[in-house]
Structure 1
Amino acid sequence: MRVGETSVKMAPATTGRGGGLLQRMASKGGNRGTGAGRVVAKSSLTKNLLERALNNSFLFRSLKANVISQIVNSMFEVKVPNGRTIIHEGEDGDNFYVVTAGKFDCIKEINGQPVKVVEMVPGMCFGELALLYNCPRGASICATADSTVWALDRESFNMTVVYHSEETRAAQILRSSQFFSSLTEHEVTVMIDQTERKIYKATPQGELGEAILEQGQHCDSLHIVMEGEVTVSHLIGKTQLVSRTIGPGQVFGVVEAMKGQPADANVYATGKTSSGTTVLKVPKAYLEGMKSKLSKQIMSAAIVQYLARSPITKALNQEGLESLCPLFVKENLRPNFKPFPNGMTKEISILDEGSVLYKGKTLSTPGKIFGEEVLSGQYRVPCITTGDNGASFFVLKAEKMDEVRNQIEKSKMLATLKTVQLFISLSQSELEALADAMQAYDYRRDEVLIKQGDPGDNFYILCFGELVVLKKREDGGMDELMRLTEGCFGERALLENKPRAATIKAVTPGRVYTIAKEAFEEHLGSLSELMALYTQEVERQQMNEKIQFNDLEPMRTIGVGSFGRSRLVYHSLTNEVYAMKSLSKKLIVRYRQENHMRHERLLMNKISHPFCSRLIKSFNEGSHVHLVTEFSPGGELFHLLDRQEGGQFDESQAKFYAACVILVLEHLHSKGIIYRDLKPDNLMLDTEGYIKVSDFGFSKEIDGYTYTVCGTPDYIAPEIITMQGHTRAVDYWSLGVLIYEMILGVPPFGTTNESEQQVYNNILDNNYHVPEEVSSQAADLISRLLVNDPNRRLGMQRKGIREVKEHPWFREIDFIKLERKKLAPPYRPDVVEEAGAARYYDRYDDAEDSSAAPFTSGTWDDCF
């Protein structure tokens, strides 16, 4: 059973977990008022009975008492006479019921005969799943006496739970934020009542949205990002210079709120979606009482804010700046003191409070940095004198300088590598591997780094210092072509063995990072091969643009779904076989899925990874829209797993497929996309045996939290069930379930004999068992992925998905080689041509879809 938004599932119905396509009635936001909804009068006795029943149900037990009470208030009474069937097996339902009087028989049809399964008496409840999604009832409930039930409809449930979920999310954001980590649970609870929540308009194109703070504006609140992102920029002259991006759980405006200073920057709502940026505002009046408990955090926030304006640290993002804070200490200097009496220092000092006499003027604005040139080897600093009341500084000691310098230089290298045209085909992980492999070299004044005419075998990135590029003339003299203070040079040496075209000489002492061609190829392979692959991909995309609908020759049907069918089609010009999903516009409109289909089409355009089933072309023809994608002749991983002895892979095989999935999740998450439907049924095998992740119907581009209930019951994360809002963490949960099922042949939280309710109970209880035959490393990985608290789940800490890739279970997996398809798959499908793939796909009727007449349906399909 697949639950959630209506989606088009073209895989065969015999895949084991296909089936119903379900639609939640309420989406994120719900009632943004009080969340109170209606109140239906009832006695205290009835209220108590209903509250006890709800607390015993898996769906309600994670809710707080005030939410349970509110839900009970909205429940309405239904009288059911003896012999009346209140719900019928197979019918859709959207109400949940609690029995308060009388009794009912729960009847299921087994082998064509009605069978009584259980008797329902007062205090018992039924129909929980109807509150989550629109699904057929699993049994009939018939009154065997005059009875009374109290009902809860899906809309009321959604409005109440989603509203309080957002309240809970605010509390979770505050508790998980490093800034408030020293506060007690009670202090956070009290603070929530003091906060103001505000949504600012963002722009999905990544442009600057609505202003949250403007430079020079009075600010009396600390701001914490709840959902979305904000961009901090400084107005220098008439130019806006972006200094950092701040995401959920991170704060800004601390210095302004605590010191009563005007905002020193412009802060704008930004993000990947148009849902807006949600910010929590904590008033200064409340923070004053917490000042002593938050002193370290206030200091760190101030350091981040000050460093963000420095050109020395411009390569660092918010996380990088935060990581430097523990290296600073606060020093209070006495009045009229000269901290740099000789005009020299090996420390970095940031003015925080008080004033100094600087270049004949009194300076009292916090954030002035002295000695930042130390990072580039320059130790001279202006002489300053503290004011009559002294001054306090944040100081980075000399012994910590190398640690800071290395981090800044690593960030600079990554930023520089991204600008090199020759490296355009490298992924983020490959660029990071390249940066890690490069070696630092400190050069002297007048040293020649590259000599014209010498063989070239090294690539360089300039960290600091100045270099001059010289070209020899025919008469033996040298012409100065340019000077370098940043950037890179020598990259052609990684591609071809040609003499150097110019000489590069040091003007000042400095530092470069360098890597030889041999070392580059050891870590990343041949650059010429990488460029050839990139060129092939560009040519493939250009060829795809030329494909016309009439050029596609239908072959046979490989899947049917709610809105149409999926066929194999042959394109003679490229001699390629593709899969084409043809969807009825009339049915899409009838079931109000226009926005969903438009979203899926636009999202697929952003996905391009060797282990994803990529979109080739789309067409809008008459009565149907068509999605043409890569065809995976090896069939589903589910079928391969099913054919193994015991229905399970050995760990090395499971590890290979899990590693492929991790690379796909890394790609999707880097684009702000969550997948939400990970399971063996959606993992296809290409001709060589590599994974192709398919079916992006539940995928969504987010920059905060989303509340839609969707997925497959065995793979659904607990935060989806409880509707507390979810993020990319749900994909890491599903990865844990996938690894478990591949190794053991069954999902961890249920068997084929267990009901969905029992599966959900097991998920919420984290009730699963890893047998002893599973390796300790695999068991550890599974246990760290299947963590009910999404903030503690592996992959959700500072290093992100790198934590998963670096887990010991994957030690022998070279992810770079895997992404390049340089690691051999454990299984290669026996497929020579399309006809050979027949064994991996079920046969369907190839009859043409009816109603081929043109259908006008608005503008939702103009993206096809």
Structure 2
Amino acid sequence: MNDGDDHHIPSLQLQKLKVVSALGRGAKGVVFLVQTESGELLALKAILRHSIDKNKGNGNSDDSEYRRVCFEQEVLKCFRHPLLPKLHGVVVTEKIVGYAIDYCPGRDLNSLRKKQTEKMFSDDITRFYAAELVLALEYLHSLGIVYRDLKPENVMIQENGHLMLVDFDLSTKLCSAKTPESPPIVEPVPKSGPVKKKNVAAFYRCCSSGISPEDTVSVPPAELGANSRTSTSESDSVEKSNSFVGTEEYVAPEIILGTGHDFAVDCWCLGVVLYEMLYGTTPFRGSNRKETFHRILKKSPELVGEPTALRDLIGKLLEKDPKQRISLEKVKVHDFFKGVDWNLILRIQRPPCIPVRPEDKGIEGNKGIDVEDFVHEIFKAVEEEKEEENKDSEKKSNDESRNNGVWVEEQNYPTRGDNFLSF
């Protein structure tokens, strides 16, 4: 991937970073809040080296840990967009590899939703966040990147109140003739300041939505983590991926079926996220993975309530046939976004929620946290637990899959022991 201007990424020395706290963990790594010698707060994603090295021989596999780590670092290095993270540095020791990106003090979109009175967003708030997600995905697609893991937990709230997509290890790059040779550069979002009423009015009053700022500086687990240049109607002419990746409640039908997928999977995920913002739950959740996947393939989303532009958009995004699914280009002119000035969104200086940033004087650092030992101990326990789950899942799968237990013809669904969920 062309990184545009060969942007140099510095190496960071772990011993010179002040560890403030552990923010959370994913399948293969732990995210820490760290402070540099200059006082800058960053989110450091640390991954066990042995989990990468043992997969290095399978580096050409789309699912290998080695490929995922290399790809994520590569795409982070090329981003020039205010809704995507900047790679600030790389850490390499005998036990871990890691990289530092922007710290988002506003937690994630799921945490913000749960703070609402009915654990749902209003249409105006949904419109603002949905518009920013469309812009972020549009930029990724312009680079030929399919995100593949859009979910509220991967959508963070920046200090200025705008969104930031994180966690790109499940993303992939498709070779499209329409993909530009070098990444477009998007102007940065201005820092939060006095409300500009003219800007707010032009964007459906989203910026005066009344979400209260955070009362705490704690951060939940952060999974560190068009104008689609190829619309879904052109999907047959675009390279497709056959990897089985994603998060089960958000995964698109074509990924489950293994028929090949492209940029349209991100539109499906956007539909699931909008549904969750509207109803407070995902549309296809079952009692187990098998039931969830069956519902994704066979069940229509229940769009309860009077017909609205938002419900209509969700229905078009959750179209099971990717060729018929609405594209990002058409999403931007949908009635739900009628009157929205797309050139204005990133300039909004007072989004729905402006998080409280921890005061620098209150950050002492936790000298008791040894990053290498912390990561090792966590994933030693995780691997032991996973081995037990693999044994149980394999036995159960063998008992159920003798033709009468196959829920999708000629398609095996992954067990909980598989590397399906992201990080």
Q: TM-score range by the shorter chain?
A: 0.5 to 0.7
Query: Hey, what does 1:767 align to over in structure 2?
Result: 300
Q: Specify the alignment match of 2:111 in structure 1.
A: 639
Distance 1:852 1:600 in 2: 19
Contact 1:564 1:849 survives alignment (8 Å): no
Report the residue type matching 1:810 in the other structure. Answer: F
Asked if 1:725 is matched to 2:197, the reply is no
Equivalent of 1:710 in 245, 251, 256: 245
- Structure 2 counterpart SS, 1:713: coil
CA positional deviation for 1:616: 1.4
Question: Which of residues 142, 150, 157 in structure 2 aligns to 1:678?
Answer: 150
Shift of 1:550: 5.2
Deviation at 1:678, TM superposition (A): 0.4
Call closer, same or farther: CA 1:709–1:572 in 2, change over 3 Å. same
Name the structure 2 match of 1:787: 319
Q: What's the CA shift for 1:699?
A: 0.6
Alignment partner of 1:590 out of 54, 75, 82 = 54
Choose from 328, 331, 336 the match for 1:804.
331
Counterparts in 2 of 1:782 and 1:702: CA distance versus 1, 3 Å = same
Whose Rg is larger?
Answer: 1
Residues 784-793 or 664-673, more deviating = 784-793
Query: 2:71 is matched with which residue?
Result: 599
CA distance in 2, matches of 1:755, 1:672: 33
Structure 1 residues 764, 562: closer, same or farther in 2, change over 3 A?
Answer: closer
Partner of 1:831: 357
Does the alignment pair 1:669 with 2:195? no
**Displacement of 1:836 after TM fit?**
8.2
Is the CA contact (8 Å cut-off) linking 1:633 and 1:834 kept in structure 2? no
Q: Distance in 1 between matches of 2:253 and 2:164?
A: 27
Structure 2 residue identity aligned to 1:734: C
Post-superposition Cα deviations, 1:617-664, rounded to whole Å, max 9, x if no partner, equal 213233321211111011111111112122110111111111111111
- Is 1:697 the equivalent of 2:224? no
| Contact 1:637–1:681 (CA under 8 A) maintained in structure 2 | yes
Which sits farther off after the overlay, 546-555 or 689-698?
546-555
- Corresponding letter in the other structure for 1:778: L
- The one-letter code matched in structure 1 to 2:48 is S
Q: Any idea what SS the aligned residue of 2:78 has?
A: coil
1:579 to 43, 54, 62: 43
TM-score of the superposed pair, with normalisation by structure 1: 0.33
Q: Distance in 2 between matches of 1:545 and 1:846?
A: 24
What code does the residue aligned with 2:44 have? M
Superposed CA deviations along residues 24-46 of structure 1, whole A, max 9, x for unmatched, are xxxxxxxxxxxxxxxxxxxxxxx
Match of 2:159 among 675, 683, 687: 687
Which ranges in structure 1 are unaligned for 5 or more consecutive residues? 1-203, 206-271, 273-423, 425-537, 796-800, 854-864
Q: Deviation at 1:750?
A: 2.1
User: Which whole-Å CA distance do the structure 2 matches of 1:779 and 1:619 have between them?
Assistant: 45
Cα pair 1:623 1:852 within 8 Å, conserved: no
CA contact (8 A) 2:146 2:174 kept: yes
- In structure 1, C-alpha distance between the alignment counterparts of 2:15 and 2:102, rounded to whole Å: 18
SS of residue in 1 equivalent to 2:343? helix
Residue in structure 1 matched with residue 345 of structure 2 by the alignment: 818
Alpha-carbon deviations, 1:310-339, whole Å to 9, x = none? Answer: xxxxxxxxxxxxxxxxxxxxxxxxxxxxxx
Q: Distance in 2 between matches of 1:651 and 1:852?
A: 40
Offset at 1:742? 0.3
**In the alignment, what sits opposite 1:737?**
272
Indicate conservation of the 8 Å contact 1:570/1:578, yes or no: yes
Question: Do the aligned partners of residues 834 and 646 (structure 1) sit closer, same or farther apart at CA in structure 2, a change above 3 Å counting?
Answer: farther
Does structure 1 conserve the Cα–Cα contact (< 8 Å) formed by 2:24 and 2:31? yes
1:823, distance to aligned residue in structure 2 (A): 5.3
Answer yes or no: is 1:617 the counterpart of 2:89: yes
CA drift of 1:810 comes to 1.0
* 1:570 counterpart = 2:35: yes
Superposed displacement of residue 835, structure 1? 8.3
Whether contact under 8 Å (2:95, 2:372) holds in the other structure is no
Instruction: For residue 711 of structure 1, give the secondary structure of its aligned residue in structure 2.
Output: coil
Q: Which runs of 5+ in 2 are unaligned?
A: 57-64, 176-238, 377-423
SS at match of 1:569: strand
Matched, 1:658 2:130: yes
Q: Does the 8 Å contact 1:708/1:720 carry over to 2?
A: yes
Specify the code of the residue in structure 2 equivalent to 1:709.
F
Q: CA deviation at 1:794?
A: 0.8
- 1:178-197 equivalent positions in 2, closer than 5 A: none
Percent identity between matched residues is 30
Is the counterpart of residue 746 in structure 1 residue 273 in structure 2? no
- The 8 Å contact of residues 654 and 742 in structure 1, kept in 2 or not, is answered as yes
Whole-angstrom distance in 1 between the partners of 2:303 and 2:275: 8
Once the two structures are superposed, residues 83-137 of structure 1 have per-residue CA deviations (whole angstroms, 9 ceiling, x without a partner) of xxxxxxxxxxxxxxxxxxxxxxxxxxxxxxxxxxxxxxxxxxxxxxxxxxxxxxx
Deviations 1:757-777 (A, max 9, x none): 22212211242211124x521
Question: Given that residues 698 and 710 in structure 1 are in contact (C-alpha distance below 8 angstroms), is that contact kept between their aligned partners in structure 2?
Answer: yes
- Whether contact under 8 Å (2:11, 2:91) holds in the other structure is no
- Decide whether aligned partners of structure 1 residues 570 and 757 sit closer, same or farther in structure 2, where only a CA change above 3 A counts: same
Q: Deviations over 1:688-736 (max 9, x none)?
A: 2211111111111112100111111111111011110000100001111
**How many residues of Structure 1 are paired with residues of Structure 2 in the alignment?**
302
Partners of 2:371 and 2:158 lie apart in 1 by 27
Residue 602 of structure 1 aligns to a residue whose secondary structure is: helix
| Structure with larger RCO (C-alpha < 8 A, sep 6+) | 2
Distance 2:375 2:290 in 1: 42
SS at match of 1:647: coil
1:756 aligns with 2:294: no
- Assess, with a 3 A threshold, how the Cα gap between structure 1 residues 777 and 835 changes in structure 2: closer, same or farther: farther
Quickly say closer, same or farther: Cα 1:717–1:632, change in 2 above 3 A: same
1:788-825 CA distance string (max 9 Å, x none):
11111111xxxxx3211111111233221112x32531
Which residue type is aligned with residue 264 of structure 2?
A
Tell me the SS of whatever aligns to 1:696.
coil
Higher strand proportion: 1
Deviation for aligned residue 1:756: 2.0
CA distance in 2, matches of 1:804, 1:818: 15
Do the aligned partners of 2:267 and 2:326 also contact (CA within 8 Å) in 1? Answer: yes
Name the amino acid aligned to 2:126: A
- The aligned amino acid for 2:369 is D
Q: Is the 8 A contact 2:11 2:90 kept in 1?
A: no
Shifted more, 657-666 versus 583-592: the winner is: 583-592
Q: Which amino acid aligns with 2:269?
A: S
Question: Aligned AA for 2:339?
Answer: E
Task: Show the counterpart of 1:556.
Answer: 21
Inter-partner Cα distance in structure 1 for 2:363 and 2:244: 35
Alpha-carbon shift at residue 549 of structure 1 (Å): 5.2
Q: Residue type of the partner of 1:732?
A: C
1:547/1:617 contact within 8 Å kept? yes
Q: Note the C-alpha offset of 1:832.
A: 4.5
